[in-house]
Structure 1
Amino acid sequence: VVRKNPPVREYQDCKLFTDEWGVTWKMPKHGGFYFDLAESPLSGDITERDRIRGYEQFYSDLVINPKLACKLMDKFVQLKIEFYKIAAEKLGKYIQFVREGDDIAGQDCLLISPEMYRKFLKPRHRELFKAQKEIFPQPFYCFFHSDGAIYDLIPDFIEIGVDVLNPLQTTAKGMDASVLKKEFGREISFWGGGIDTQRTLPKGSPEEIKRQVKERIECLAPGGGFIFGAVHNIQDDVPPENILAMWHTFMELRNY
């Protein structure tokens, strides 16, 4: 297909551009004549409607203009559901889970109260997860990403159909791995939590890495329901030997 109005006209445009579908493509920072998908209109969280209203304004809307906030969130949920219907029609037999997420907590507390979550976000999460399980062929699993101190909301996630919780930020307040496994391990699976990516992985010794990986597997693996992974993406300040220590320890203990 030859476009009459190509989105890239000059070489300098190549580093970042948005196509006619609203999808943003970005050239890798180290160069190369290819593009990575950087952003999609349907990516992200329900609360990321703050891109339309602004971060501060969106959360203010939940209090002073809830009708508008709800309208934005409902529209986003419906767009996602329509997209999933198309995806299921084309690729349904290959899809076993969909990654959703809402980062609604910092490292010490939630960004909104549990009451506000249950009033505004929970009904929309429920609608989205219910639709996914109806649209995609079984077996299908709801994968939900939420960083930070989310302990108080885990029972809510279980109630609305979340099967897999990620990333299990074990250094956040109230997110002790042993407590989470004991209280929720029979009802939800954990994806992540295998190594702390803020302190241990970038700053620890290989021996400390090995010790923590072993401790996490011994804590989270019994009875199943644990998919090993780091708490978050491995950053560029992590020494290669620490990555190898994590990997080799996991490979030694992976048959859990």
Structure 2
Amino acid sequence: MMGAPLWRKYLKPRLKIMYETARKKGMRIMTHTCGDVTEIFPDMIELGIECINDIQPECMDLTFLKREYGKDIVLFGGLGSQSTIPGSTPEEVVREAEERLALLGAGGRCIIGPAGAIPAEAPVENVVSLIEYFKKTLGG
């Protein structure tokens, strides 16, 4: 784990070089994070990151992220893979998906889904209900 000051000092300059090189070759930039990285969202946008995964409801304020940064970066995740998906009923999982799709999907620039890997102990019924909800709602 690394705080924002150390991230800015040691990683940001190196990431800037790496991302600039990738963009010159026509690549797009998406990054994976764990935990609450809200403090460095402006830095990541400045670096040209186009999508951040995982947006974790267990430790991040999704309303704030959407309001402050949703126009500048794609938010990927939003569903509680450490909370709701493994520890709730299928109905509660679908309710969370509905709420998060309404919040994060407003105006686009989101990829809704589990905020990280679904743990093995998650009830299969919860995962199936989520898949069925997305098929019905988003098509496919």
Q: When the two structures are superposed, what TM-score results if normalisation uses the length of structure 1?
A: 0.52
- Shift of the alpha carbon at 1:176? 1.3
Gaps of 5+ in 2: none
Higher normalized contact order (CA 8 Å, seq sep 6+, divided by chain length):
2
Contact residue 141 and residue 164 of structure 1 kept, 8 A = no
2: distance between equivalents of 1:166 and 1:205?
25
- Shift of the alpha carbon at 1:178? 1.1
2: distance between equivalents of 1:147 and 1:113?
13
- Shift of the alpha carbon at 1:253? 2.3
**What one-letter code is carried by the residue in structure 2 that aligns with 1:248?**
E
Asked if 1:159 is matched to 2:62, the reply is no
1: distance between equivalents of 2:3 and 2:88?
35
Instruction: Indicate the structure (1 or 2) with the bigger Cα radius of gyration.
Output: 1
Map of 2:20 onto structure 1? 130
What pairs with 1:101-250 in structure 2 (closer than 5 Å)?
Answer: 111-136=1-26, 140-172=27-59, 175-193=60-78, 195-250=79-134
SS in 2 for 1:244: helix
Gaps of 5+ in 1: 1-110
**What one-letter code is carried by the residue in structure 2 that aligns with 1:233?**
A
% identical equivalent positions: 31
**What one-letter code is carried by the residue in structure 2 that aligns with 1:115?**
P
1:145-202 per-position Cα deviation (integer Å, ceiling 9, x unaligned): 0110111000000001100000111211xx1111100000000001111x20112111
- Shift of the alpha carbon at 1:112? 2.5
Contact residue 214 and residue 253 of structure 1 kept, 8 A = no
- Shift of the alpha carbon at 1:231? 0.5
SS in 2 for 1:167: strand
Contact residue 192 and residue 230 of structure 1 kept, 8 A = yes
How many equivalent pairs are there? 139
- Shift of the alpha carbon at 1:113? 2.8
Tell me how large the CA RMSD over aligned residues is.
1.2
